[in-house]
């Protein structure tokens, strides 16, 4: 069974880091440099293959930046 993967729409990301803090397996890092709207900052990205597809990051994001994508059964 394939797991779901978080996909980020950085346009609305405010670089708060809540998603990285919410990840139970430390699979997210605030490491991606870039610009989003008026923000030029660090954005989250998957930094390793630990992601278990739990969706905690997507639920934690206050800006609804993250959606879970894939063929898994879990959401
Ligand atoms: S889906 Fe779960 S394991 Fe994967 S990055 Fe988000 S919080 Fe971490
Ligand atoms: S929780 Fe959402 S807004 Fe905050 S850094 Fe993560 S993706 Fe960006």
CA 34 – CA 2 distance, rounded (Å): 30
CA 72 – CA 19 distance, rounded (Å): 20
CA 56 – CA 22 distance, rounded (Å): 6
Question: Token pair of 13, please?
Answer: 């990301």
Pocket lined around ligand 2, Cβ cut-off 6 Å = 8, 13-19, 44, 60-61, 63, 65-66
Distance 19 CA to ligand 2 centre (A): 5
Best CATH choice for the domain 5-69 from the list 3.30.70.20, 3.40.50.300, 1.10.340.30, 3.40.50.2300: 3.30.70.20
Instruction: Say whether pTM exceeds 0.85.
Output: yes
Give the domain ranges of the chain: 5-69
**pLDDT in 10s for each residue of the chain, 75 residues:** 678 999 999 888 989 999 999 999 999 999 898 876 676 789 999 988 899 999 999 999 999 999 999 865 554
Question: Token pair of 47, please?
Answer: 């930094």
Pocket test for ligand 2, best of 6, 12, 15 (most atoms within 8 A of CB): 15
Find out whether the beta carbon of 28 lies less than 6 Å from any atom of ligand 1.
Answer: yes
pLDDT of residue 1: 60
pLDDT of residue 34: 83
């Amino acid at each position: 069974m394939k797991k779901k993967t978080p996909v980020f729409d950085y346009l609305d990301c405010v670089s708060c880091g809540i998603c990285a803090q919410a990840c139970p397996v430390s699979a997210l890092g605030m490491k991606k440099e870039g610009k989003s709207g008026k923000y030029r900052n660090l954005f989250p990205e998957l930094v390793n293959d630990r992601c278990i597809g739990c969706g905690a990051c997507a639920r934690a994001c206050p800006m609804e930046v993250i959606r879970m994508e894939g063929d898994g059964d879990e959401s």
